[in-house]
């Protein structure tokens, strides 16, 4: 999805394809909300397994959070860009980034000298943004001469913890058998959370979590 606006909502969905662009690039949504009206747009209970690459404002789930909420989402593949790059959200200027899981193997600055990179969200324009109960893969690599921002990286989890239901329940995820409690643990090649209605989990490049 390119732009999610007008108090729109995307919930209980996933993306497996690689995504690339120049600005506001995300595995599920490019930009969420706007700075004038309709600031309650939401991306909830979603995951992305494809690599995400671009220039400015690049995130594993959402590229740019202008206003709104990103809640209970995760991304598993590499994320790369030049400015404002994060494992879950690229840049954020207003809203909530809570209960998310950043499982990317790496965050990479492809060129330039920006320092706005983070495991969960970038350090750019975080005034008015609430971050809480986020966790991130402890061995995620910072590439291209970057260091991750302070306070925006989430608590460490291991590859083993990434495949345990309790890791997600502790930060508020709902496991069950309906749209309100949509998550279950995958089996076989994908032991990460998937949706209750998925009989066969999508193939994900999660070698770094084995």
With respect to residue 199, please indicate whether it lies within any of the assigned structural domains: no
With respect to residue 207, please indicate whether it lies within any of the assigned structural domains: no
Q: What is the pLDDT along the chain (210 residues), one digit of tens a residue?
A: 576 666 777 889 999 989 999 899 999 998 887 766 557 888 999 999 999 999 999 999 999 999 899 999 999 999 999 999 999 999 988 889 999 999 999 999 999 999 999 999 997 657 788 899 999 999 999 999 998 876 578 899 999 999 999 999 999 999 999 999 999 998 766 789 999 998 766 655 578 888
**Domain CATH for 83:** 2.160.20.110
The whole-model pTM stands at 0.93
Q: Are 138 and 161 in contact (CB under 8 A)?
A: no
With respect to residue 197, please indicate whether it lies within any of the assigned structural domains: no
With respect to residue 23, please indicate whether it lies within any of the assigned structural domains: yes
With respect to residue 143, please indicate whether it lies within any of the assigned structural domains: yes
Q: How many CA atoms lie within 13 A of 68 on its CB side?
A: 31
Q: How far apart are CA 29 and CA 32, in angstroms?
A: 7
Q: Are 142 and 117 in contact (CB under 8 A)?
A: yes
Closest Cα to residue 30, out of 78, 77, 84, 72?
84
With respect to residue 85, please indicate whether it lies within any of the assigned structural domains: yes
With respect to residue 201, please indicate whether it lies within any of the assigned structural domains: no
Sort 166 into a burial class: Cβ within 10 Å, 0-12 / 13-18 / 19+. Answer: exposed
With respect to residue 76, please indicate whether it lies within any of the assigned structural domains: yes
Range of the domain at 160: 3-191
Q: How far apart are CA 121 and CA 84, in angstroms?
A: 8
- Number of domains into which the chain is organized: 1
């Amino acid at each position: 999805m390119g732009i999610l606006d007008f108090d729109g909502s995307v919930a209980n969905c996933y993306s497996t394809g690689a995504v690339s662009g120049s600005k506001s690039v995300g595995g599920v949504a490019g930009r969420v909300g706007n700075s004038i009206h309709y600031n309650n747009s939401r991306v909830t209970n979603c995951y992305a397994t494809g690599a995400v690459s671009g220039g400015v404002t690049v995130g594993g789930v959402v590229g740019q959070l202008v206003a709104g909420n990103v809640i209970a989402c995760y991304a598993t593949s590499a994320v790369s860009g030049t400015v404002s790059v994060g494992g879950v959200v690229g840049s954020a200027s207003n809203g909530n980034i809570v209960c998310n899981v950043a499982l990317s193997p790496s965050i990479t600055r492809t060129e330039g000298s920006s320092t706005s990179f983070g495991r969960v969200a970038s350090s750019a324009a975080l005034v008015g943004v609430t971050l809480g109960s986020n966790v991130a893969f402890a061995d995620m690599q910072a590439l291209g001469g970057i260091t991750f921002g302070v306070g925006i990286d989430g608590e460490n989890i291991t590859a083993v913890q990434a495949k345990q239901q309790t890791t997600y329940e502790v930060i508020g995820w709902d496991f069950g058998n309906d749209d309100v409690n949509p998550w279950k643990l995958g089996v076989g090649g994908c032991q990460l959370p998937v949706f209750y209605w998925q009989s066969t989990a999508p193939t994900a490049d999660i070698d770094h979590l084995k």
